[in-house]
Amino acid sequence: MKRLVYLASVCLTFVACGDSTGPGSVAGRYALVSLNGAPLPAVFFQVLENKVEITAGHIQLNRDGTCSASATFQSTVAGLVETETSEDTCTWTQNHPAFAITFSDGSTDAGSLIDGTISITSEDFVLVYRK
């Protein structure tokens, strides 16, 4: 999924088809359910006691090939907890089962969309979304 920049004690970089009947059949909201196989909230980055977790996220696929993506992060640095939500607009394409999403900055992530589940591998992360 798109690189989302989140500052904790360091600058982190994060990067998000089923039916063959067309975009209308897969349009809808897909909730982020896991990061690298771990259910949410999942640790995105950790150094000693300082960490960044992803606590929620979703991708909204629209019938016209546009989409929006959101991710909520919680950082714990020196015992202080902060929450930040990052949002972006995007476009998506599908060539059953291949799925690609292109974000507003031009970056693209690819994966698959099968039976209401989007799986995206981005950098060193595997994100799974379910409708």
Residue 21 predicted with pLDDT over 80: no
The pLDDT of 106-123, averaged and rounded, is 94
**DSSP state for residue 19 in the 8-state scheme:** -
The strand pairing partners of 125, in sequence order, are 122
The pLDDT of 100-107, averaged and rounded, is 96
26: three-class secondary structure by DSSP? helix
Structure tokens at 67: 């989409």
The strand pairing partners of 94, in sequence order, are 99
Task: Provide the 10 A C-beta neighbour count for residue 9.
Answer: 13
Instruction: Name which of 74, 63, 76, 59 is nearest 118 in CA terms.
Output: 59
Residue 89 predicted with pLDDT over 70: yes
The strand pairing partners of 118, in sequence order, are 113, 129
**DSSP state for residue 64 in the 8-state scheme:** T
The dihedrals phi and psi of 91, each to the nearest 5 degrees, come to -130, 160
- Name the domain count of the chain: 1
Of 2-6, 22-26, 45-49, 110-114, the poorest mean pLDDT is in 2-6
| pLDDT tens digits for range 24-52 | 589 999 999 999 999 999 998 999 999 99
Residue 124: what pLDDT? 87
Domain that holds residue 13: 4-130
Structure tokens at 127: 């994100």
Residue 121 sits in a domain of what CATH number? 2.40.128.300
* Higher-confidence position of 54 and 17: 54
Of 11-20, 48-57, 93-102, the poorest mean pLDDT is in 11-20
